[in-house]
Structure 1
Amino acid sequence: MKIILFTNGIWGMPVVEKLHKEGVLGGVVLPSGVDNSALCNYLEILEVQWFELENKDQENELTPWINGKNASLALVFCFPYKIDKQVFESFSEGIYNMHFGDLPKYAGPDPLFWVLKNGESKVHIVVHRMNQYFDSGEVVYSQELQIIPGETYGLLGSRLSMFSSNLINQVIETIKKDHYENTESVPVAQLPRPTEEDLCIQWESQTADQIESLINAANPKYNGAATMFRGVKVRIIEVSPIDNNELIFMDAGSIVRADPQMGVFVVCKDKKILRINVIQMPEGVFSGLKFAALGIQAQERFTSIPVESFEEELI
């Protein structure tokens, strides 16, 4: 059996390596317009052929390329484009997608963001037979993993990509054994890509745990979670929860302590404390210690970005 892999970015490397090691990798399809230089260099070392796909050339260019590889099965892993119907017809065993997030709950183009933002303690790697609808089709394999407390988007995605490569043989054997057929296609509700509003801290309504979850979900892909400080938009990239037994009578977002040796500490709606570890400002990216050394004072406050500013962006 030869397999064509549709993938994107460095997260695809472990799966490429595994399929190549098993001797079943017939070629790799990559999206164009994306910096895949590291992945392409790796494919060159492995002497694996690849095809850079533009959405418009699937029928006239991609399909003949696939047909020349004599592959009966395709795997899709972190691939951003919708695959056309005629491409499905090129694979007698079908096309299967490896999706990070339980289906249909976390259907959509960026499930890991929502898994982390929602504070889930577990994440699923789900394999389903693809059809013309995104993240639809029969689920053939599912594996549940614990999320490590404090894990960021980048760390979790990298760990899942390594774990996925170890599932390849099980997934292939499951597909070969049960011979899944195309079933009736039914669209499922999709979670969208996060908007700038989704990436903003709401100090008045979010707890410390919710704010930490949002910041982890936005690191590094979305450059952290946005908030206002001294009238300027900044992005908080990393925080740590701090044990605190004191009852603090300050508004959410207020700085309760700023110390160049200890950092900057902020109180949240539920009176829990977060320490700012990394923050991005117009002047640069700073550690919490460097941020405190800039003259930050206790009683200063982070505030939510006004809703009107998002409405202005849409006009």
Structure 2
Amino acid sequence: MSSQKKIVILCGGKFAFKALQLLAFENYLCGIGIGKSSSLVIEALETESENNNLDFKSFPDKKSISEMKSWIEKLKPDFIFSISFPFLIPENVLSYGKEKFINFHPGPLPQYRGPMPIFEVLKNQEKFTAISVHFMDSKYDEGPVIFKELLKVEQDDTYGKLAVKLSNHAAQVALNMANMVQFAGKIPSSIQESKDAYYFEKPEFSDTCIKWKNMTADEIIALINSCNPWNTGADTSFQGEHIKIIVASLYNQSHQNTKPGTILAITEDGNITVACSDDKQVSIEVLKTDIGIITAKQFNFQENILGKKFR
């Protein structure tokens, strides 16, 4: 089809792979640009680009973005899709064309702006998340929204599980968007409501640390899931040692107002039950300690831990 509109994809790693495969299969792509990523991911994408006769460009740091405008002008795409691209696109690049740059944000906008909305959505125990498709401007995640595709968050979703589901979801959404731009003379969009907007920075240690004194059991489990696997679990300490809790579940029994963080029992499965601030308990299954990633049963064999506290 000689009039078929061509697309460049800017991406940041594996999250965009499914979308790349679908768009390449439909012959929509003319180029792939990747931001800062691992050498293995970059090499894999470069090989796939060569196999599909696509132009490939790496942008390893912010300084290299200065080369983006000339690269785009050489390829002359009709649209530029951004999927997990790690750098802000400057105005001089965006000037290539009004409403040419479209971002696929893995979270609801404008409520979950920022680089890691999956973490925040899980931590806040949201029931739904979204792929938000929006035009890009010179600020992160603030451009007019074209549409949002909702995705249910399951109770046992970890960061890794939800990221994989969103990656698959984003692929179909990107394909739908690519089909839309083939025929749409004008793409409808709506300005984001500033009163609903919040920008979450990349999580720091204080964000991933369990606060036993005031966090409920559900909040602790949500935090643990939101940190698995990217942070290898939620942070805490035990007897002066830095610990990460990787897998835990609700153990819905009263602990009779025992101080939060106290280890109460060892279950038949060898899990560790710990008191929380809301008179419920969490059952810890997998941890990371100085000796490595171990089960709660292995952790229990190190010493007599009953009655001792996580802090």
Fold shared, TM-score > 0.5 on shorter chain: yes
Query: Displacement, 1:252?
Result: 0.7
Contact 1:6 1:79 (C-alpha < 8 Å) held by counterparts: yes
Q: Distance in 1 between matches of 2:158 and 2:39?
A: 22
State the alpha-carbon separation in 2 of the partners of residues 36 and 163 from structure 1.
26
What SS does structure 2 have at the residue aligned with 1:68? helix
Q: What is the one-letter code of the residue matched to 1:157? A: A
Residue 114 of structure 1, CA deviation: 0.8
Name the residue aligned to 2:64.
57
Taking the aligned partners of 1:28 and 1:65, their CA distance within structure 2 comes to: 11
**Is 2:111 the partner of 1:108?**
no
Q: Which residue pairs with 1:179 in the alignment? A: 186
Separation in 2 of the partners of 1:16 and 1:79? 13
Cα distance in 2 for residues equivalent to 1:91 and 1:58: 17
CA–CA distance in structure 2, aligned partners of residues 165 and 105 of structure 1: 22
Residue number in structure 2 paired with 1:231? 240
Distance in 2 between the 1:181 and 1:241 partners?
45
Equivalents in 1 of 2:171, 2:231: separation in Å? 26
Alignment partner of 1:37 out of 37, 40, 46: 40
* 1:148 paired residue among 114, 129, 154: 154
Aligned residues: 300
Report the Cα distance in structure 2 between the residues aligned to 1:196 and 1:31, rounded to whole angstroms: 25
| Contact preservation (8 Å) 2:216, 2:278 | yes
Aligned-partner Cα distance in 2 for 1:86–1:233: 46
Deviation of 1:189 (Å):
4.3
TM-score (norm 1): 0.88
Equivalence for 2:144 = 138
In structure 2, list runs of 5 or more residues that go unmatched. Answer: none
Structure 2 residue corresponding to 1:195, chosen from 197, 201, 204? 204
Work out whether 1:13 is the aligned partner of 2:17. Answer: yes
RMSD (Å) for aligned C-alpha atoms: 2.3
1:86 is matched with: 92
Q: Structure 1 residues 161 and 39 mapped into 2: Cα distance closer, same or farther (>3 Å)? A: farther
Change (3 A) 1:41 1:2: same
Of 4, 8, 12 in structure 1, the residue corresponding to residue 8 of structure 2 is: 4
Q: Tell me, what secondary structure is at the counterpart of 1:165? A: helix
1:135-184 CA distances to partner (integer Å, 9 max, x unpaired)? Answer: 01110011111101121111101110011111223223444526248999
Consecutive unaligned residues of structure 1, counting only runs of 5 or more, are 304-315
SS in 2 for 1:197: helix
Alignment of 1:288 with 2:296, yes or no, is: yes
Tell me the equivalent position of 1:212: 221
Query: Are the structure 2 counterparts of residues 224 and 23 from structure 1 closer, same or farther at C-alpha, using a change threshold of 3 Å?
Result: same
1:278 deviates by 1.3
Alpha carbons 2:287, 2:296 under 8 Å: kept: yes
**Aligned twin of 1:311:** none
Q: Does 1:27 align with 2:35?
A: no
Deviates more, 1:264-273 or 1:92-101: 92-101
Amino acid at match of 1:290: Q
Q: Relative to structure 2, which stretch is displaced further, 99-108 or 235-244?
A: 235-244
| Counterpart position of 2:170 | 164
Alignment deviations for residues 261-285 of structure 1 (CA, whole Å, 9 cap, x no partner): 4221112111212111111112211
Aligned equivalents of 2:296, 2:256: Cα separation in 1:
21
Query: Is this contact kept in 2: 1:93–1:179, CA < 8 A?
Result: no
One-letter amino acid matched to 1:265: T
Partners of 2:136 and 2:305 in 1: how far apart?
54
Query: Is the contact made by 1:71 and 1:91 (CA closer than 8 Å) also made in structure 2?
Result: no
Q: Shift of residue 198 of structure 1?
A: 0.9
- CA drift at 1:249: 3.6
Q: Which amino acid aligns with 2:62?
A: N
Match of 1:255 in 2: 263
Partner of 1:129: 135
Distance 1:71 1:96 in 2: 12
* Moved >6 Å (runs of 4+): 181-187
Letter in 1 for 2:306: A
TM-score by length of 2: 0.89
| Equivalent pair of 1:201/1:225 in contact (CA under 8 Å) | yes
Question: C-alpha separation between the residues in 2 aligned to 1:64 and 1:42?
Answer: 21
Q: Percent identity?
A: 26
d(CA) in 1 for partners of 2:46, 2:173:
21
Structure 1 residue 113: Cα displacement: 1.0
